[in-house]
Structure 1
Amino acid sequence: MATTTLDAPASPETPPAALPALSRWPLLSVCTGLGLALLALSGRHGYHVDELYNRASGAHLAWGYVDQPPLVSLIARVETSLLGDTLTALRVVPALLACVVVWVAALVARELGGRAGAQLFAAAATAGSLVTLNAGHVLTTNIPDLVAWVTVGWLVIRLLRTRDTRLWLAVGAVSGVGLLAKNLVVLLILALLVGVLATGRRTVLHSRHLWAGAALAALLAAPALWWQVAHGWPATEMSEALKTALGEDSRVAFVPFQVLMIGLFLTPVWIAGVVALLRRPQWRPFRPVGLAYLFMSALLIAIGGKPEYTGGLQLVLLAAGSVVVVEWASTALRRTLAGSALVGNALLSAVLMLPVLPVAVYGSNPVLNGLGVFQLDQAGWPQLAEQVATVHRTLPARERGHAVVYANHYGLAGALDKYGPEHGLPAVYSGHNSYADFGRPADDTEVVIAVGVDREKFGALFDSCEAAGTFETSLPVADQDTGFLVCRGPREPWSQLWPTLTWIGFSCPYTAEAVTARSEKGCSLT
């Protein structure tokens, strides 16, 4: 039978038995404000490179893809089917899920004893964090993953407070759905279990509910796992590609990213959350959460993992720190400092993660050119389609009706798939990641317009390849100066060429320099 401490007497090492009242209406105001702001800005600039891929994968639903599980593609399919094939329609669910993240962050603060002020500060701080605005603005795997991380964090904190092991079932359900979006929630569960074991809170592990929760998570994630098995675990090849792309830069960038994920002005708040979770006597039951962050950080540094993987857990720490800050802000001066940090962080995060400025400003300003690269990854796609269409129109009429377009990576292919039809472009193909499974040219295709390929390697597959210009834009986008080729006479049928053209990896390098300067184009902070 599950045990509970709800009726247990308070002590210096026991959290309050009764939770403070939930400040519903102020929290609802913050969530609504965030959602409306995200939707109001959703149609500016353009599709993010990953959104173009998710839009295309939504038209080719499967139980899994080379580089991600199926949930985000399903969301894209539902949104475009019900709301239309528009940029704003694609971003409705991310905005709503960002509101969920904000609400659950307030629940974390409440679970730690935070009253109305702490709950409101936690919600506002979460809404004004880079990681929340980044994930909530675009449809990528980041936003459902963020919901899963923050929710699991809240459930585990509640479990540690009440010792009600039935909550493992909820943890399993959330984790299972999270695994349908991204595999990273496994890292969070591992870190939390290490924290529980390290602090001696093992009693919450001695329950059949833990195993039932694990079974539920596995059941929910089973279709995606089976897809990986049936396709030879391409996720492992993707992981190797990521490790190669990151190199040593992930270790160098780890600390800067810890500041970037929440924001410069709120960094002291989430750090205060870590310290309080580890040192406050009344928060002793919650020490596994603080230790989970330390373990996760050490593990990511050791294996060279992406430093932004800590973002979801940092929001939980931010909520904990909000309780500390509100208690600290007992004078007018301190309240002014806390409020200024909150507002300053929100403004900085909005400038970097939301299209609040003209895209040309992000391209020309030396600071925003690096830190605001997320905006530049949403620019230039219609112009690319127009210029490729110009190449297509130069083909002789007898070739024009039978030509196809091949794009080197899924961002290029997704952009040409979205904007190409209005310019009369033919079918678009790519061998990058799961785009390779969306189709290939027919064997009798003799003419191809190739975009962004290596001329020497690609040209060796055809009788002739001639340069047909480059992608010209005034913005320093990732694919600026990408070359166009017109190739004729494939030396083998496309069915035999296709394995040569398929590849698994990333369309841009991840470098430490991309954190502070755009010295190498195309490296988004996402």
Structure 2
Amino acid sequence: MRWIAALAALTALRLAVAAVLPLAPDEAYYWVWSQDLQGGYLDHPPMVALFIRAGTLIAGETPLGIRLFGPLSLALGSVLLALAAEDLFPGRKAGVWAAALLNATLLAGVGAVAMTPDTPLLFFWTAALWALARLHRTQDGRWWLAVGVLAGAALLSKYTAVLLGFGIVVWLLLDATARRWLLRWQLWAGGALAVAVFAPVVLWNATHDWASFAKQGGRAGDWQPGQALRFIGELIGGQAGLATPLVFVLCVAGMGAAAWRWWKTRDGAALLVAVLTVPGAAIFLWQATGSRVQGNWPAILYPAAAIGAAALLTAPAWLRLRWPALILGGVMSAVVYVQALAAPFPLPRRSDPTLARLGGWPDFLRDVDAAMTREGARFVAAEEYGLASALAFGLPRGRIVVAMDPRWRYFSLPAPEPGVTGLLVRSERRGEGPPLWPGAQPLPEGEDRLVRHRNGIEAEAYRLHRVTTGAGQPPAALLPRPGS
């Protein structure tokens, strides 16, 4: 099939990009997780760490190893999405278009070459959607067992997967055909499997003061009239950019078409698409009335929305938008790839996320290593968890990296040896306040500043301080090193 060949070629391209780009600090942080596997972490559940551990076992502790399952999971998820569309709306030939629309988004195309918790979340959410479509098509209750395992794996990836469970419950309550499953054991067995898969996160929280649940539960919206319009505008504008403008329009229209079709015909397939998109969109809009919604959070809405767009927008005007949407999405993804790899456009940090996250790391790491040698530092330390993790992954073998942040007390990592002198690397973006490390002494002028840059354009500047380990310092840990 030609579309499978195109998907394979696109996946190969994404793997090549993933192998060449330096790691972003967050990716290095999740790599640290993979070196200290637990049932949960302060920020998220552990699935991203499992993805990374599996990838590095295959391709080594390299950028490709860390990101390996990003392009691969998106490829498999695209196939499952196509199958789900065919099961929900047979005869409409919507599967290939649904998969193509998803792949045309920056959320998927760029997200596939960055390993974050959204990577496994998007895969398992899509796989659960496929299992639900199989259930709807076959009416074979055993598919509830697959739904349970996959939904549990999605929740083991990121807490926003709770929206998947919410959508399923709404579908069961509103659809007369689906409602009969409430009396069947398969549904409840699937629910028990989902709970069992998620149980390690509950157990980890129970033994760590419910830290992760408390942290993520504190993100609830709080109505702020002065900021609401701004945050909502940022959310909608950000989604139009990250989904790419035409795909965004098609997906929003697909959501609306699914809800309208169910309202008019009580079509259970359309209802399934609607409950996996509309409630989530409403919740994110509500969240934006009180705080900023990160652009990646709504990514989970796009698989079902793409099915709605491909299967239900059949008017000629909508059909004419399909190819332009794919072309525009492909061009935008290609521009981001090229900018991240070669930076042909001399954009400042505020206009270039690839510069802020990826730019200049190899040279900066060499500068830090040289500063350690010059100062005779036994270790290098950082207050920011992402910066510390980037140093731990990227510095030459043999260098010791100390991380300072209260979050490290939730890891089973060793504490630094007392009475040892090293360098503290501190971003100027943290402000002019003193370092958290007690007794930190700035280096002499001319030796106290490093700049991470790409092609002469500054990505971030850092100050260097001389520090000594000892009693009274904030929580600190020795970070693992590749090959250690």
Paired residues for 1:424-443 under 5 Å: 425-431=399-405, 433-434=407-408, 437=411, 438-443=413-418
Partner of residue 285, structure 1: 268
Instruction: Report how far residue 104 of structure 1 moved.
Output: 1.6
SS at 1:253's partner residue? Answer: helix
Aligned pairs for 1:326-405 within 5 A: 327-329=314-316, 337-352=321-336, 354-355=337-338, 358-361=341-344, 364-365=346-347, 372-374=352-354, 376-395=356-375, 397=376, 400=377, 403-405=378-380
1:262 counterpart letter in structure 2: A
What are the residue-to-residue correspondences of 1:413-432 with 2, within 5 Å?
413-421=388-396, 425-431=399-405
Match of 1:481 in 2: 461
Kindly state the Cα deviation for residue 433 of structure 1 after the two structures are TM-superposed.
Answer: 3.0
1:133–1:350 contact (8 Å) kept in structure 2 = no
Q: Which residue of structure 2 lines up, in the alignment, with residue 408 of structure 1?
A: 383
Cα drift, residue 455 of structure 1: 6.7
Percent identity, aligned pairs only, is 22
The answer to whether the Cα contact below 8 Å between 1:31 and 1:103 also exists between their aligned partners in 2 is no
Instruction: Give the drift of 1:464.
Output: 4.2
Unpaired segments ≥5 residues, structure 2: 478-484
Paired residue for 1:37?
A: 13
Q: CA RMSD in A?
A: 3.3
CA gap of 1:435–1:143, structure 2 versus 1, over 3 A, is farther
Which of 21, 42, 51 aligns to 1:75? It is 51
Instruction: Report the equivalent of 1:315.
Output: 303
* Aligned counterpart in structure 1 of residue 65 of structure 2, from 76, 89, 96: 89
- Matched with 1:469 is 448
- 1:316 maps to a residue whose letter is A
Q: State the match for 1:522 in structure 2.
A: none
Distance 1:273 1:456, change over 3 A: closer
Alpha-carbon distance in 1 for matches of 2:253, 2:321: 15
Equivalence map 1:109-508=2 (5 Å): 109-115=85-91, 117-198=93-174, 202-239=179-216, 250-280=231-261, 284-286=267-269, 287-304=271-288, 306=294, 308-325=296-313, 327-329=314-316, 337-352=321-336, 354-355=337-338, 358-361=341-344, 364-365=346-347, 372-374=352-354, 376-395=356-375, 397=376, 400=377, 403-421=378-396, 425-431=399-405, 433-434=407-408, 437=411, 438-452=413-427, 456-458=433-435, 461-462=438-439, 464-466=441-443, 468-475=447-454, 480-488=460-468, 493=471, 496-499=472-475
- Distance change in 2, residues 1:309/1:454 (3 Å): closer
CA distance in 2, matches of 1:374, 1:335: 33
Equivalences, count: 459
Corresponding residue of 2:480 = none
Query: Partners of 1:336 and 1:296 in 2: how far apart?
Result: 28
Pair 148,358 (structure 1): closer, same or farther in 2 beyond 3 Å: closer
- Partners in 1 of 2:29 and 2:419 — Cα distance? 27
* CA distance in 2: counterparts of 1:370 and 1:196, whole angstroms: 46
Deviation for aligned residue 1:255: 1.7
Output the CA distance in 2 between the equivalents of 1:410 and 1:478. Answer: 21
What is the deviation of 1:102? Answer: 1.0
Q: Secondary structure at the match of 2:424?
A: strand
Structure 1 position 164, deviation (Å)? 3.7
Tell me by how many angstroms 1:337 deviates: 4.4
Aligned counterparts of 1:471 and 1:358: Cα–Cα separation in 2: 22
Residues 1:472 and 1:300: Cα distance change in structure 2 (over 3 Å)? same
Cα 1:314–1:283 change in 2 (3 A) is farther
Kindly state the Cα deviation for residue 120 of structure 1 after the two structures are TM-superposed. Answer: 2.1
Cα distance, 1:441–1:459 mapped onto 2, change above 3 Å: same
